[in-house]
Amino acid sequence: MGTPSSLPVAAATAAPTRDRAGGAGWRHVAAAVGAFVLLTGLGAVAPKWLTFLMTMAAGNGLVSLGIVCLMRGGVVPFGQGMVFAIGGYAAALFYNRLGFTDAIGLALAGGVAAVLIAAPFAPLLSRYRGIFFAMLTLALSMVTYGLLMKLDTFGGSDGFNLGRPTLLGMKLPDDKVGFILFLVTAGFAVVMAALARIYFDSTRGLVTLAARENELRVEYLGGSVRQAMAINFVLAAFCGGLGGALVVMALGHIEPNFSFWTTSGEFVFVAILAGWHSVVAVFVASTVLEVVRSFSSSYFPNTWQLALGIFLLLVIRFLPKGIGSLWHRERK
């Protein structure tokens, strides 16, 4: 397969993309900075439980962002719990065993660990589509779950705790911990969202979208669908690991359940709720799910599963293209 830059479709998209990326790139950076400022303001005035909820939403949203990355290519991974757990365990283990406590460093460590462990599976997984892709990823995440349950050095089924992280060498004061961890998580979310938007609009991002429509055509035109899929899988792994590490730091606890199929299912649901057009929609969707979960627990302690199930059905039925379709205009 030739390199994209030497062939018609790639050339056609390359030039305008580069121009567009130039202008759009700055727009995205500005949007990201603006979003971060807004979130800082929100976090400063919000009650503690809301800040925590938004931290979890942002962390979980990162994993769903990775899923959207793959969904644009037409495959839906049902096993992102695996990279979520790997990121979380890596961060927790670095903290406890190596004494490395910097929040930003731990987050990045989580992302990198997830990439290192997931990457060998990428070439294999990139060959499959549809239900088989979903099932293979599901099986891998359940094997990870089984391993984590069995290994006592990783805490076994109870998991283990980690203490308060530090930030750039500074200890975090008692009353500001939640807010600062929220800022770190939101910061990563905003940065990854901007990068994702830039990536989606780039050549490879568009090849992915094209592969969703018609893989054969893309192959004929010289793009490598397998390569695109493999790269998307690795990127999704990074996002998932990042999210896992951030969530673990906010929670202070990690357990094998992070890799269970129901956890993966919730990430997929958020991705579907968001749709694959808008990156912001992913985090909005993640927040919506957290809010619904939180309030159905309070108002329906005996029937929260019923409430959540009905909510899922309504969303899947009435928002087929996800929340993102509410404000995204298909660019022709």
Instruction: For the CB of residue 269, give the shortest distance to other proteins in the complex, in Å.
Output: 6
State yes or no: residue 291 binds other proteins (CB under 8 A). Answer: no
Instruction: For the CB of residue 282, give the shortest distance to other proteins in the complex, in Å.
Output: 16
State yes or no: residue 207 binds other proteins (CB under 8 A). Answer: no
Site for other proteins, residues 71 to 90, rule: CB under 8 A: 76, 78
Answer for which of 1, 15, 37, 316 binds other proteins (CB under 8 A) is 316
Site for other proteins, residues 173 to 202, rule: CB under 8 A: 174, 177
CA distance 209 to 225: 10
DSSP annotation of 15: H
State yes or no: residue 95 binds other proteins (CB under 8 A). Answer: no
Instruction: For the CB of residue 23, give the shortest distance to other proteins in the complex, in Å.
Output: 34
- Neighbouring residues of 243: CB distance < 8 A, sequence distance ≥ 6: 59, 60, 61, 62, 63, 66, 84, 87
Answer for which of 1, 5, 158, 176 binds other proteins (CB under 8 A) is 158
Instruction: For the CB of residue 251, give the shortest distance to other proteins in the complex, in Å.
Output: 5
Q: How many residues interact with other proteins (rule CB under 8 A)?
A: 76
Is residue 254 helix, strand or coil? strand
Site for other proteins, residues 22 to 61, rule: CB under 8 A: 47-49, 52-53, 56
Closest CA to 40 of 155, 176, 183: 183
Stretch that binds other proteins, among 1-9, 24-32, 144-152, 185-193 (CB under 8 A): 144-152
Answer for which of 30, 33, 310, 326 binds other proteins (CB under 8 A) is 310
**Cβ neighbours of 160 (radius 10 Å):** 15
Answer for which of 5, 34, 130, 217 binds other proteins (CB under 8 A) is 130
**Closest to other proteins by CB, 32 or 207:** 207
Task: Supply the DSSP string of 262-321, one letter for each residue.
Answer: HHHHHHHHHHHHH-SS-HHHHHHHHHHHHHHHHHHHHH-TTTHHHHHHHHHHHHHHH-TT
Instruction: For the CB of residue 32, give the shortest distance to other proteins in the complex, in Å.
Output: 27
Site for other proteins, residues 211 to 230, rule: CB under 8 A: 215, 219, 225-226
Instruction: For the CB of residue 304, give the shortest distance to other proteins in the complex, in Å.
Output: 6
**Closest to other proteins by CB, 53 or 194:** 53
**Cβ neighbours of 46 (radius 10 Å):** 17
Cβ proximity of 7 and 221 under 8 Å: yes
φ/ψ (deg, to 5) at 166? -110, 170
Stretch that binds other proteins, among 103-111, 129-137, 182-190, 193-201 (CB under 8 A): 129-137
| Furthest CA-CA distance within the chain | 61
Closest CA to 104 of 178, 166, 158, 44: 166
**Closest to other proteins by CB, 34 or 123:** 123
**Which residues are paired to 253 by β-bridges?**
161
State yes or no: residue 171 binds other proteins (CB under 8 A). Answer: no
Cβ proximity of 239 and 63 under 8 Å: yes
State yes or no: residue 107 binds other proteins (CB under 8 A). Answer: no
Answer for which of 3, 5, 214, 297 binds other proteins (CB under 8 A) is 297
- Residue 304 Cα distances to 272, 289, 292, angstroms: 21, 13, 10
